[in-house]
Structure 1
Amino acid sequence: MSERMSRRKVFGLGAAGVAAAGAGAIAARSLVQEPPVAHATTSDPFPFYGEHQAGIVTPAQDRLHFVAFDVTTGSRAELVDLLQEWTAAAARLTQGKEAGSFGAAGGSPEAAPDDTGEALGLPASGLTLTIGFGPSLFDRRFGLAARRPPALADLPKFPGERLIPELSGGDLCVQACAHDPQVAVHAIRNLARIGFGKVSVRWSQLGFGRTSSTSRAQVTPRNLMGFKDGTNNMKLEDAALLRDQLWAAAPDGADWMAGGTYLVTRKIRMTIETWDRTSLREQEEIFGRDKVKGAPVGKQNEFDPVDLAAMKPDAHVRLAHPSGHGNAHLLRRGYNYVDGSDGLGRLDAGLFFIAYQRDPRKQFVPIQMALARTDPLNEYIKHISSGLFACPPGVRDAGDYWGRGLFG
Structure 2
Amino acid sequence: MNEPEEDAAAETATAETAAASPPSGLSRRGLLGLAIGGGVAGLAVGAGAGIAGGVAIGRARAHADAQPVHEFFGEHQAGITTSVQDHLHFASFDMMPRTDRDDLISLLQDWSYAAARMTQGLEVSASGAVGGPAEAPPDDTGEALGLPAAGLTITFGFGPGLFENEDGDRYGIAALRPTGLERLPAFLGDDLNPQASHGDLCVQACADDPQVAVHAIRNLSRIAFGRARLRWSQLGFGKTSRTTSSQATPRNLFGFKDGTANILADDAAALDDHVWVASDDEPAWLAGGSYLVARKIAMLIETWDRVRLAEQDTIIGRDKGEGAPLSGGDEFTAPDFGGASIDANSHVRLAHPEQNEGIRILRRGYNYVDGNNELGRLDAGLFFLSYQRDPGQFITLQRRLSTDLLNEYIRHVGSGIWAVPAGVKPGSYVGAELFA
Fold-level similarity (TM above 0.5): yes
Q: CA deviation at 1:102?
A: 1.2
The reply to whether residue 46 of structure 1 matches residue 46 of structure 2 is no
Residue 10 of structure 2: aligned partner: none
Q: Go from structure 1 to structure 2 and tell me whether the alpha carbon gap of 1:106 and 1:214 turns closer, same or farther (over 3 Å shift).
A: same
Consecutive unaligned residues of structure 1, counting only runs of 5 or more, are: 1-6, 28-39
Q: Distance in 1 between matches of 2:381 and 2:147?
A: 29
* Deviation for aligned residue 1:252: 1.5
> For 2:33, what is the secondary structure of its paired residue?
coil
Superposed CA offset, 1:109-140 (max 9, x none):
22211000000000000000000000010111
Name the SS of the counterpart of 1:15 in structure 2.
Answer: helix
- What's the secondary structure of 1:319's corresponding residue? helix
Contact 1:55 1:130 in 2 (8 A): yes
RMSD: 1.9
The answer on whether the counterparts of 2:100 and 2:171 sit within 8 Å (CA) in structure 1 is yes
Name the amino acid aligned to 2:344.
P
Decide which of 227, 233, 256 is 2:285's aligned counterpart.
Answer: 256
1:394 paired with 2:412, answer: no
Question: Match of 2:215, as an amino acid?
Answer: H
- Give the distance between the partners of 2:240 and 2:422, measured in 1 at CA: 25
Match of 2:434?
406
Return 248-257 or 191-200, whichever deviates more: 248-257
Q: Structure 1 158/106 Cα, relative in aligned 2: closer, same or farther at 3 Å?
A: same
Identity of aligned residues (%): 57
- Of the structure 1 ranges 72-81 and 133-142, higher mean CA displacement relative to structure 2 is found in 72-81
Displacement after TM superposition at 1:70 (Å): 0.4
Moved >4 Å (runs of 4+):
17-21, 23-27
The answer to whether the 8 Å contact 1:15/1:197 transfers is no
What is the correspondence of 1:4-403 to structure 2 with a 5 Å cutoff?
Answer: 10-11=28-29, 15-16=33-34, 22=43, 25=46, 41=65, 43-72=67-96, 73-139=98-164, 140-309=169-338, 310-361=341-392, 363-371=393-401, 373-397=402-426, 399-403=427-431
Paired with 1:267 and 1:221, the residues of 2 have a C-alpha distance of: 18
Change (3 A) 1:308 1:395: same
Distance in 2 of aligned mates of 1:103 and 1:12: 15
Counterparts of 2:410 and 2:45 in 1: how far apart (Å)?
47
The number of residue pairs the alignment matches comes to 387
TM-score by structure 2 length? Answer: 0.85
The 8 Å contact of residues 42 and 179 in structure 1, kept in 2 or not, is answered as no
Q: Which moved more, 1:323-332 or 1:350-359?
A: 323-332
Q: 1:66 to 1:285 in 2, by over 3 A?
A: same
Could you tell me how far apart the structure 2 residues matched to 1:13 and 1:404 are? 18
3-state SS of paired residue (2:412)? strand
Deviation at 1:152, TM superposition (A): 1.3
Partners of 1:277 and 1:367 in 2: CA distance:
28
Contact 1:264–1:387, Cα closer than 8 Å, also in 2: yes
The answer as to whether partners of 2:95 and 2:228 remain within 8 angstroms in 1 is yes
Following superposition, the deviation at residue 360 of structure 1 comes to: 1.1
* TM-fit CA distance, 1:324: 2.2
Q: Any idea what SS the aligned residue of 1:351 has?
A: strand
Q: 1:191-237 deviations in whole A, cap 9, x for unaligned? A: 00000111110000000000000000100000000000010000001
Q: TM-score, normalization: structure 1?
A: 0.91
Distance apart, 1:155 and its partner CA: 1.2
Residues 146-169 of structure 1: CA distance to partner in whole angstroms, max 9, x if unpaired? 000123133111122111111100
